[in-house]
Amino acid sequence: MAEKSINIASWPCLSNGLHYNWLVDYAVFSAFGTFELSAEEWEKRDLIVNFKGNSELTTEIDHQQAVDKAIDLVSSFLKAVFSEKEGATNSHSTLSQLTLVCLPASTRKHTDRRFRKFSEQVCAATSMQNAYNAFSFTTTKDEEGDEVDTLHIDETFFQGKHVILFDDIIASGGSIVRFAEKLEKSGAKVIAALALERKFQTDTTITNSDY
């Protein structure tokens, strides 16, 4: 993992001014292109694919190993950011004052798979408060009979909370911005956002037009 600044004020900002950071770069490519990546770059891509656990190629062992690695990476980084011993200059010097909010996925199943164990163990390691149970889903069926999960937020839980937002991957950051706005309307103060990986365009991308 590349060296990351532990001073939140030096982190880049999203469109709403929220500071954010990420731990691993995720190489992307065009839908009709091919590319060459190093073994390390493929390993980074596999981390997020296996963490999400959506791919048919992801085994349960692969998923659990990715979740465990993410727990270690995120816990270690957060403890460095908010540790006075590391020279951090952030307004909240102790993680016990902060609440971890993992951005829910589009379905109850995916949210549970990715974030239940992750949030529990990151909070156990850092003494942060876990907001996982402040979110719930109701399931209905659409006109075609497909299940649709609707997210509900316990707004009273977030009143006065100081929040670190976490998402598995960030591109434009739009989903983080929108979710931060929801939480702040509920009375929370969002301190910063953190992602496991951030998408970037690899220089080794070769598109069909190059042939």
Query: pTM to 2 decimals?
Result: 0.85
**CA 118/CA 120 separation, integer angstroms:** 6
Structure-token pair, residue 188: 């929370």
86-118 pLDDT per residue, tens: 444 554 558 899 999 999 999 999 999 999 999
* Long-range contacts formed by 142-149: CB under 8 A, 24+ apart: 149/106, 149/107, 149/108
In terms of pLDDT, which residue wins out, 83 or 52?
52
Q: Which residue type, as a one-letter code, is found at position 153? A: I
Residue 47 has pLDDT above 90, yes or no: yes
Specify whether the CB–CB gap between 44 and 51 falls below 8 A. no
pLDDT value for 1 = 45
The residue that leads in pLDDT, 10 or 84, is 10
- Note whether 27 and 44 are within 8 A (CB): yes
Q: Are 105 and 75 in contact (CB under 8 A)?
A: no
CA distance 125 to 199: 27
Whether the per-residue pLDDT at 185 is higher than 90: the answer is yes
For tokens 């109701």, what's the residue?
Answer: 138
Query: How many other CB atoms sit within 10 Å of the CB of residue 51?
Result: 25
Tokens 């816990």: give the residue.
Answer: 75
Annotate 134-199 with DSSP letters as a single string.
GEEEEEEE-TTS-EEEEEEE-HHHHTT-EEEEEEEEESS-HHHHHHHHHHHHTT-EEEEEEEEEEE
In which residue are the tokens 């996925």 written? 105
Cβ contact 35:202 at 8 Å: yes
Q: What are residue 108's phi and psi, to 5 degrees?
A: -60, -45
Minimum mean pLDDT among 20-29, 94-103, 158-167: which range? 20-29
Q: Higher-confidence residue: 209 or 57?
A: 57
State the pLDDT confidence band at 29, using cuts at 50, 70 and 90. Answer: low
pLDDT score for 201: 62
Tokens of 88: 């951090």
Angle between helices 60-81 and 39-52 (to 10 degrees): 100
Which pLDDT band holds residue 163 (cuts at 50, 70, 90)?
very high
Higher pLDDT, 120 or 201: 120
